Every structure is written in structure tokens, then in C-alpha cells.
Structure 1
Amino acid sequence: MAPSIVRKVLNTLQITADYSVKPAGLQWRSNTLFIVATVAVGLFTDLFLYGLIVPILPSMLQDKVGVPKDQIQSNVSGLLAAYAGASVVFSPVAGIMADRMSTRQAPFLIGLLALFGATIMLYLGTTLPVLAIARVLQGISAAFVWTIGLALCLETVGPENLGKTIGSIFSFISVGNLCAPLVGGLLYDKTGYPGVFGIGFAILAVDFLMRLLVIEKKVARRYEAEDSDSANTTPSHQQDGNADEAQQEEADEYQPLLGSKEEDHAAFKISDNQPKLARMIPILPCLADPRLLTAFLVAFIQALLLGNFDATIPTVAGDYFNFDSLHSGVLFLPLGVFDFILGPIFGWCVDRFGTKPIAVISYTYLVPVLVLLRLPQPGGKSQILLYGAMLALSGIGLAGIGAPSIVEAGAIVQKYYEVNPEFFGEEGPYAQLYGLNSMVFSAGLTLGPELAGELKERIGYGNMNLVLAAICLLTAVLCFVYIGGKPRMLTGGRYKS
């Protein structure tokens, strides 16, 4: 009796993998909603702790480290870039590790461990190198949570539901972006550093518990397969049949976009003569597809814009309006509120109407909005309200550019997997895909603050936004040509992959 209890406890804690003994709570721990919620909380924690620090970074550098005021902007940009740079380096590593491990849970927990260490160092650090190392650890954590989380989402909901799932998750985690700067500024103003980092550690505890409890669906099926006496067990061939049906439905959904099955096979077929590196990292041959490269570009520009806002809002608020950390955090509110409200709607639109119209419209919309960010000037209440209104309009555009990249990249790689299942293996290349996506996104977060800081100092804040508007216009053109397939006017009346 005792050994059975021990096995039950070990399986419940996911320490062992004895599939003859079901862990406690298997049904709800492997439920789609709980898995998606766990991913959402993981992404929320990453963004919340990232955003919690943004408005107080200038104060941390000045008060704790003693950085001269004229060096604050460059050091703020540098610390933001350290976070993103580490994520660039470790995202592919996270993707390769995830595809080589039997479950996603272990690398998911590795990311949380890095984030915990980073938070301690940020709280205790009093020198610039310590703060830089802490931001690097935060970047490593982000690489794992975004790569593993997005791959886990795709495995759980399927490609046909990815758009609205990602839209809903992004809407939820935008609360992190929305509230974190405000909360960070408020707590720093009222309680100092203990209050700021106290709430950070509390959220980390919740995140850890959920990541520890979650059981992937493929792992849950192994327990059910061992339970031969259970009447509710779904045979593996039926599971495979359901998966095939979902893949077929997704294929039918994209059929008008991608052409006939024969054309798909020719367009997505990978040659058998692949080098050793491509067989070790099977996502590499897919990078020859201009649509996939454009999807990555869309993610890069999205991150570039986010990094720009993170780096410039606190300093512009201080320069224009003499705002402290608390009031600088408030300015993030109008930027994030529309992302929170409109994220699921844009995600549903991507699933319903495709990636091309949403991506093109959103990036085109951002062009005049960024140009109008030239209007706010140093001043009083009227200029503060004008700047807040411009940030709110920017938030609408940012909500629209979140889902198209991820959904487009997933749809393309899904086609490659359907045509070349033997090349990719049973698990497919999805963790590697999202590892690359996270790497590209992090590269945008790395370049965004640096570009914003450099342009702001050299040509001014208004002209900096003019450059970003031109980048958005170019991105909209590339989205029109490549995202979702080439438009009919360029292919003689047919979409072409």
C-alpha cells in the first residue's frame, strides 16, 4: 500500500513518469483552459516584471548606482537592450532543448528559475554590472517562457484556433504592460523598493505553482493509454484521427490562400539532400520561404516599436512634463488599455479574415499616428493630454500587429510539416519555430531602445517618430506582398504561396 502511495505522490508532483499510476487532478491539470491559462500567467509574469522596472530604472540608476543625469537615457536603453540581447541568444537554445525533451514542463521551469534569480539581483544590486546581469537573466527567462509557451499553446489548441487564443492571451498579458509601469511607479513612490519587488515575488510564486501543476495533453494521454480498464480512455488511433481531422480542417481553411494540394506539395516539399545541420535543426530549410521571413520581420518591427515606447516614455515624461516615476507609469495606461480591449478582437479577425488584411491595415494605421507624435511639446495639462491621446491611438495599432506574425509563421510551418512529416519527426519543429520567433522579437527589443535613444538624442523625439513611421510604411508594403500569400494583382488573379 505504501509504495502505491509514494508512486502516487511522486507522479502528482511530476517527479517520476510511472504512467500506470495517474497523478492527482490529471483531468483539470491537462484541461485546455488550464494549460492556456498557465502559459498566459507565465507570459504575464515575464512582461509584468519587465514593465515593473521600466518607470523606476532612471531612479534606480541615479539613487542606487549614482549614474550622472546626462547618462541616464543611454544606460536605461542599455539595460533594456541587455534583456532583449540575452533573449536573442537563448531563444534558439530554448527551442532546440524543447524539441529534444519529452515534455515542455522542465524548460518552462528553468525559465522561471532564471527570472527568480534576476528579481533578487535587481532588488539587491547597487552596481551597474549587477543590474546588467539581472537584466540578462530576465532575458534568458523570456527566451524560455515565450518559446515553450507558444509551442505549448499550438499543441494544445491547434493551428485553427491559434489566432483567437494568441489574441486572448496577448489581451490578458497586456495587463502586465498596462499595470506594471503604473504599479511600479506607485509602489516606488509610496513604499520604495521593498514594495515594488514584494509584489514581483508574489506573482512569481503563483507562476511557479501553475507551471508545476500543468500536465501537457500528450503526457495525459500516456496515463490514459496505460489505464486499459478505463471506459473513458480514447484509443491512440482515434486521437491521431482527431488530430488528422483538425489538420485537414486547417488545411481546408488555408486552401484558397495556398492553392491546390498538388501546388502545396511542390511549394513546401523539402529536398532530401539536406546538410547535417539542417537535419539537426529542421526549421532551417523553412527559412527559404519569403512568407516566413516576412512573418519574422513583422515580429521584429512590433518589438522595435514596443522597445521604443518603453525607452522613451519615461524620459519624455521627465523632459517635457517634469514627471516622476509614478506619473511616468501613468502614461503607459493609455498605451496599453486599447491593447487589452482590442487584442482578442484582432485575434478573431486574423482567424476569420486572414493575416494579410490585419497586418497591412494595422501597420498602415500606425504611420500617421507616429507622425502625429511630433505634436506634443513641453508644457502643461493640454500637452500632457495630447501626449496621452497620441499614446492611446498608438495602442490601437499595437493591438493589431500582435497576432498576424505568430499565426502566419505557424500556418507556414504547419504546411511544411504536413508535406514533410518524416523530415520533422513526430513532434514537428514548432518549438524551434517559436524559438526563432522569440529570437527575432528579442532582437527588436534590443534594437528598439538603442535606436530610440540614439535618434532621440541626435534628431529629437519628433523626428525619431518620423523614422519609425517610415519603417511601418515599408513593413505594410512587405505585408501586402508576402503575408498570407502574394496578392492576386501580382499573380494573375490568383493567390500564390
Structure 2
Amino acid sequence: MQGLGISFVLAYPEATLISDYIAKDCPSIFDQLSSSKSSLRMTGSAPRPLLTALGFRRDYSRKPPGFSWRRSKWFIIYTVSIALWTDLFLYSLVVPILPFLLQDRLDLPPSKIQSCVSGLLATFAASSFGFSPVIGYISDLVSTRQAPFFLGLLALLGSTALFLLGQSLLVLFVARILQGLSAALVWTVGLVLCVEAVGTENLGKTMGGIFGFVAVGNLLSPPLGGFVYDKTGNKGLFIVAFAVLLVDFILRALVIEPRIGERYESQVRSPAQPPAGQADDCVDERPPPSEEISRLLPGPKHSITSCSYKISPDLPTICHKIPILPCLADLRFLSSVFLTLVQATLLGSFDATVPTLAQEYYGLSSLHAGLLFLPLGITTLALGPIFGMCVDRFGTKVVAVSAYSYLSLILCLLRLVQPGASSQVLMYGGMLGVCGIGMAGINSPAIVEASLIIENYYELNQSFFGHKKPYAQLYALNNMVFSAGLALGPELAGELKQRIGYGNMNAVLAAVCAVAALLSFRYIGGGRDRDVP
């Protein structure tokens, strides 16, 4: 079995990335893998050219097959999009069936269904929140992004198996903890891979496109999960989930991250130089020209020399270890973090209340409850990239203020939802679709704003940050806040729905969106302070 596992590792091209990660902390394991590689070469089961081409060797002197397209920007973005899509797809796959699964498989009484649904959703978010800071810190230290990227897939595999086969609440909660770990790994490392591939130029369009594509997970998984569970039960869900995981695994095995691509290029250009990773990883992480960043903000182009972005060198040691901490004193940065929290809270509230409302008001099955997510997902998918381009063109302020103001009005209209026949169901689905327009609008501004602020800080404080930009820490923080919102949303919405009713619950969420719109108007998209000659 051990030999089979080693052969399996050797069969994939990015094994070199994981081996780099293992070699630092687990040299005995690395020696065992290396000796196994030698024996395989001698027996002919894995010829030297194949091992070299697949990248298991650490000298990077020979490029693997398909090197150009595997390290291209479009393939990296596509792979990350699929990884995020898979994570959200498997998360949302079970959302509409949770009430039915808890009742059918665990025989829970109806009075406990809502609290257990909210608890399972909140456990996932709490797990992701807890793991994110550790992952962000480690990801900025290790020499490869690929190792944690693969670990996320393994965690997701274990989570899916436990959730689909578990026969107790404890197992289901453990499955959600593993899925939270996977989300922390994938969303932190995946977004870093994207920004390292495309830079900050057109970041709004890239993020808008990614989140629009990821919205397909929200679009397909609830109705698909409801349909499959209604027709086949757990067996069908198991097949669908692992088919998606297989595609995700193949893409993650093929992609070559920018750091590793640079190592291959450096080795080819200067074969006499020591292999990358033994000195400074041969990574050129100089900041892009300020012109590229200023294209994302309104106003004339200028250099970043504002004192508001200067960081004092006389800070506690922990700030030097975790360099994103001083940025938390920036009100503009904190506002972008708050917008992320509101965005996730809204998403979590929809996930927790739409299926239970469909069951309580209209007596819908898991299939029809899942179909109610279609209007919400379609509008988010169609309009996400468009709003992302608007962020690039007009700045983050305009889009953020408009989208949150719009949501504050539309959510109030959900007070009109009442129990009834098919006409009420159609009206509810249509209003969810209208809400999807606002959800598409709030996808990009917060993450783009935070990325630009960190870029500004890095350009003026390179001696403080070192040669590596703290993108992993930024996206770990973003994932923490997003996870907190996913935990807060179901609990807040579920509790308000039970105490004051569904309509009044949406009035409270509308008020939160109004506060987000005011903060966006005051702080978001402030641009840069200009030099006074």
C-alpha cells in the first residue's frame, strides 16, 4: 500500500512542489520518496524523461510537457475558478437538502431542523475563520503555493465523503469542519495565485469574472442537489460530488504556478546559476508600475508618496512577523473588510432561510426548494463580470454605493412574501432574481479595494514588507471575514426569522445594507493623496 501511494504521488507533475514543501520539514519522508523514485527509474516503471518532464526532479532544467499553456494566465485563472467553483458547489449542493436530510436520515423532530441547519452552516464558516490566519501566514513563508492548494483538495475530499456517508450529527459537524479547512486553503491560496498571475491591472474584471463563474456553483448545485437527492438519495449525490472533485484534481495537477514557472525559465536562461529555491527562490516580486494601479482608480495618475501609507519601523515584533497588521489602522481598509462581512452575511442568510421558507410557506420538496436559487444565481452569474468591469472603469466607490443602496431597497420588498399558491412561489422566485442583481454588484468592490490599499502600502514600505507582498495574509483575512459572515448570516437570519418573521428579518438586513452604502460613500474609493511639489 505504501509503494502504491508513492507511485501515485510520482504520477503527477506538481509532485515537485509538494516535495519541496516536505523536504524542509520532513527530510526522512523526502529521502524515502527520492529512493523510491530511483528504484522506479531502475525498474523502468517511471523512466527518467517522464520524471523530469513531470517535474518531480528539483533542478528545473527540463520543462514539463505543455509548459507554456499550463503556466499561462488564462489557465491559472481557469484552474483557480474551477477550484473555487468546486468548493462553493459542494458547499451549496447540500444547502437545499439539509432540512430533508436531517429529517430522513437522522429522524430529527421538525422543531430542531432550523437550529441544526443554521448550526451546520455556521460550523463550516467558523472552521474556515479559524484556519484562515494560520494558512495565510504559512502560505507567505513556503516556497510554493501548490502544496497548500493540494491539501485543500484532500480536505474537501474527506469532508464530502463524511457528509454523504455520516449517520450522526457529530460526523456531519466534523465534515463541515474539514470543509471549512478546505475553503480556507483554496480561497486564500487560489486568489493569491490569480493576483500573482495577472497583477493588479484589471483586477476588478478578473475578480468579477471569477466570482461570476463561481456563482455557477450557487446556480447549479441547489437545484441539482435537490433533484438528485429527491430521485436517488445519497448515492446520486456521492457520484456527482466525486465526479466534480476528479475534474478539479486533474486541473490542479496540471497547473504551473508563476513562481515555479519562473524557476524553470531562470534555469533555462542561466543554467550556471544555483537552482531556484536555494537562494531567494528566483522570484521577481517587484511591485508593478504605479500606472497599472492608478488605472483602477478615478483621477489623474501620480506616484504613491502619501504619508498616510507610511508605516513606522518602530512597531512591535508581531507587526514585522505579520506585516498586514499595521494596515488594519486604515479606515478605508477596515471599511472594505466590513463590506466583505456584509456580503457574506447576506449570502449566508439566503442559504439558511430560502429552503426552510419554501418548505414552511409552500410545502415544496427538496427539488423545488433548490429551484428557487436559480433566479438568484442566474443574475449573479450574468452581471458579475459586468460589475467587475465597472469597478475597473469607474472605481470601487460608485459600484459599492450603488449596489448596497439598491439592496437596501430590494430587501424591504421581500416583506411582501406570503404563504400561498403557485403565484406566490413565482413572485418569490422573481424577487430573489432581482436581489441577485445587487449581489452581483457587491462581488468585486471590497476585494479590489483591499488589494489596491495593500499595493499602496507595499510600494511605500518595501523595507518593512520585504520582497514578498502579503497577499496570502490579505486573502486569508478576507476569507476569515467572509467566513465570519457565513457564520453570522445563518444564525442571525434564522433567529430573526423565528422571532420576528421573515419579512421583518429582511428589513433588518436592508438596514445593514444601508449602513454599508453610507460607509462606502464615506471611505471606499478614496484614491491616493497627492504629492505637494
Q: TM-score range by the shorter chain?
A: over 0.9
How far 1:247 moved relative to its partner? 2.7
Give matches, 1:260-339, under 5 Å.
Answer: 261=303, 263-264=305-306, 266-339=307-380
Q: Structure 1 313/252 Cα, relative in aligned 2: closer, same or farther at 3 Å? A: closer
**Counterpart position of 2:11:** none
**Counterpart position of 2:502:** 461
Q: Distance in 1 between matches of 2:266 and 2:305?
A: 38
**Counterpart position of 1:45:** 86
- 8 Å contact 2:294–2:302 — kept in the other structure? no
Give matches, 1:124-273, under 5 Å.
Answer: 124-228=165-269, 246-253=288-295, 261=303, 263-264=305-306, 266-273=307-314
What per-residue deviation string (whole Å, max 9, x for no partner) do you get for residues 246-293 of structure 1?
Answer: 4322244367669954652x1111111121111111111111111111
**Counterpart position of 1:477:** 518
- 8 Å contact 1:312–1:452 — kept in the other structure? yes
Q: Distance in 2 between matches of 1:256 and 1:169?
A: 23
Letter of the aligned partner of 1:223 in structure 2?
A: Y
Helix, strand or coil at the partner of 1:100: coil
What per-residue deviation string (whole Å, max 9, x for no partner) do you get for residues 14-42 of structure 1?
Answer: 43422212222211110111100110000
Q: Structure 1 103/258 Cα, relative in aligned 2: closer, same or farther at 3 Å? A: farther
Aligned residue pairs: how many? 481
- 1:30 paired to 2:71: yes
Q: Distance in 1 between matches of 2:297 and 2:335?
A: 20
- 8 Å contact 2:102–2:113 — kept in the other structure? yes
Larger proportion of helix:
1
Which of 458, 466, 491 does residue 425 from structure 1 map onto?
466
Helix, strand or coil at the partner of 1:379: coil
Q: Structure 1 335/53 Cα, relative in aligned 2: closer, same or farther at 3 Å? A: same
Helix, strand or coil at the partner of 1:103: coil
Q: Distance in 2 between matches of 1:457 and 1:23?
A: 58
- 8 Å contact 1:7–1:18 — kept in the other structure? no
- 1:396 paired to 2:443: no
What per-residue deviation string (whole Å, max 9, x for no partner) do you get for residues 377-401 of structure 1?
Answer: 0000111111011101110000000
Q: Distance in 2 between matches of 1:260 and 1:273?
A: 28
Q: Distance in 2 between matches of 1:156 and 1:241?
A: 12
Q: Distance in 2 between matches of 1:351 and 1:367?
A: 24
Alignment RMSD, CA only? 2.4
Q: Distance in 1 between matches of 2:412 and 2:297?
A: 38
Q: Structure 1 364/324 Cα, relative in aligned 2: closer, same or farther at 3 Å? A: same
Letter of the aligned partner of 1:152 in structure 2?
A: L
How far 1:10 moved relative to its partner? 3.3
Q: Which runs of 4+ in 1 moved over 6 A?
A: 2-5, 239-243
- 8 Å contact 2:285–2:468 — kept in the other structure? no
What per-residue deviation string (whole Å, max 9, x for no partner) do you get for residues 80-139 of structure 1?
Answer: 000000010011111111101111100001111110000010111010010001011111
- 8 Å contact 1:122–1:134 — kept in the other structure? yes
| Percent of residue pairs bearing the same amino acid type | 55
What per-residue deviation string (whole Å, max 9, x for no partner) do you get for residues 395-419 of structure 1?
Answer: 0000000000110000000001111
Taking structure 2 as the reference length, what is the TM-score of the superposition? 0.86
Q: Structure 1 258/463 Cα, relative in aligned 2: closer, same or farther at 3 Å? A: farther
Letter of the aligned partner of 1:209 in structure 2?
A: I
Taking structure 1 as the reference length, what is the TM-score of the superposition? 0.92
What per-residue deviation string (whole Å, max 9, x for no partner) do you get for residues 54-90 of structure 1?
Answer: 0111111111112111110010000000000001001
Q: Structure 1 408/340 Cα, relative in aligned 2: closer, same or farther at 3 Å? A: same
Q: Structure 1 273/254 Cα, relative in aligned 2: closer, same or farther at 3 Å? A: farther
How far 1:155 moved relative to its partner? 0.6
Q: Distance in 2 between matches of 1:55 and 1:251?
A: 41
Structure 2 residue runs without a partner (length 5+): 1-40, 272-281
Helix, strand or coil at the partner of 1:92: helix
Q: Distance in 2 between matches of 1:100 and 1:38?
A: 23
Q: Distance in 2 between matches of 1:486 and 1:26?
A: 39
Letter of the aligned partner of 2:404 in structure 1?
A: Y
Structure 1 residue runs without a partner (length 5+): 231-238
- 1:352 paired to 2:371: no
